[in-house]
Amino acid sequence: MSYSSPYRFYARRVKLLLRLRPGRLFWLLLAILNIKCLPFVWHYRFFAPVIAAALRKPINQSMLHRRKDEVPLVFLPIITKTKVPILEGDFNLHKSNSTYFTDLDSSRSLLLSFLVFHGMSKTHKELATEGKNGIMTAMLGSTYTHFKREIPTGYPYEVWSRILTWDQKWLYIVTHFVQKGKIIPKASVTEIINDRKPDAKNVNASNRAFKVPKALSQSDVEHSIFGTSISKCVFKKGRMTVSPNRVLAASGLLSTAITNKSEIDLTGSQNSIDPKTKDLFSRETTTQYSNNELDEHIEEERVKGMKFAYLVSELEDLQGHLLKDQELSDGVITLGTFSELGHSVSL
C-alpha cells in the first residue's frame, strides 16, 4: 500500500462530511461528542465487559509473583477513562450529579466481570448440581456518593473502582472519580493476560514491565479526587444469596484453604452485621485466613474496609423514617404534588 493510501482514505471521509447539509453535520457532531448519552449506549457499556470476560481466560492470584508489601489482586483497582459530554452538563456547565451513577454502573460491571465472572460461573454450576435453580447474578443493594469537586463539561477524568471489603452477605465496592493523568499506574494485569511483553507472566521479572510512577503525597491524591462512592452488592442464585467469600474463592482470588460454601438463608433480616457479632466474625475469619501470609494480608485489608461498610449499613435505618410518628396516625399533609414537568396535579 502506498503512503498516499491513508491520505486518500481520510480525504474521502472529509469530502463526504462536507457534502452533508449544515444541519445534519451539526447533529452528527453532537451525537459523536455525546456518545455516552445516546440510547442503548448504557447497555453496551454495562454488558460489553461481561462478554469480554466470558471470552478471556480466568485470572487468579498466582498469576502475580507479588512482594510482601504489594496489594493483593482482589483489592487492585480498575480504571475507566472518560470525559464529560455536553448533555451531562448542568446549568453551571459542570457534570450533573445524577450522571455519576451511570459511570458507577459501567465501572462496577467492568470490575466484577474482570475479577469474578468465571468464579460466578463456577459457583453457578456447583449450586445447579445441588438442585439450586435460577441465574447467578450480582445485584446492587445501595450506593452512597460524596461530591467533593465539580467536573467541568468536556473535562477528561478517570473512574477508579476496587473491592473495599465484604461480609457474610454484602460485597462493598469503592469508586473514586479522579483527575486524568494525576496517578500513573506502574503496571497492569491486563498486560499479563494478553502477554504483551516477553516477561509479562511475572510482573516482577523485569523492570520493563513497569512504568516509573510519579511520587505523590496524600494531599496530592486527595486534591485529584472529584468524588467518592461506595456501592453495596450481593450475589444471587435465583432468590438465594451466595456468600461473597465463596465467589471470591471460586474466582481464585483467595486461598484454596478457604472453602466456606454455605449460602445465607434469607428467612431473617441480614441487611447488616449485628454489632455483637462483628468481633466474633472478625476473629473467626482471621483464624481461617491465618494459614499463610497472603491470606493474612487479604484479611487485614478486608477488616480495615469494614469500618466504612458499617457506616453505609447504618443508613438503611432511614427507610423507617419516611413518615413522622404523627403522620402515621393522623395522615400526611404535603406541600403539593407535581408532575415531572413541574405542573401541579390534583390528588
Q: How many CB atoms lie within 10 A of CB 303?
A: 16
Residue 77 CA from chain centroid, whole number = 9
Amino acid at 265: D
Least confident of 40-54, 117-131, 159-173, 267-281: 267-281
Q: Is 74 helix (H, G, I), strand (E, B) or coil?
A: helix
CATH architecture of the domain 40-183+224-265 equals: Roll (3.10)
Q: What is the pLDDT of residue 67?
A: 56
The pTM for the full model equals: 0.78
Per residue in 10-37, pLDDT tens?
677 666 666 666 767 777 788 888 899 9
Residue 153 has pLDDT above 80, yes or no: yes
DSSP for 273-312 reads: --HHHHHHHHHHHHHHHTTSHHHHHHHHHHHHHHHHHHHH
* Mean local confidence (pLDDT), 230-254: 94
Q: What is the pLDDT of residue 303?
A: 92
Per residue in 320-342, pLDDT tens?
888 898 989 899 998 898 988 88
Q: Is 62 helix (H, G, I), strand (E, B) or coil?
A: helix
What is the pLDDT of the chain when averaged over all its residues?
80
Q: How many CB atoms lie within 10 A of CB 221?
A: 13
Q: What is the pLDDT of residue 168?
A: 93
Least confident of 76-90, 160-174, 190-204: 190-204
Q: What is the residue extent of each domain of the chain?
A: 40-183+224-265
Residue 48 has pLDDT above 70, yes or no: yes
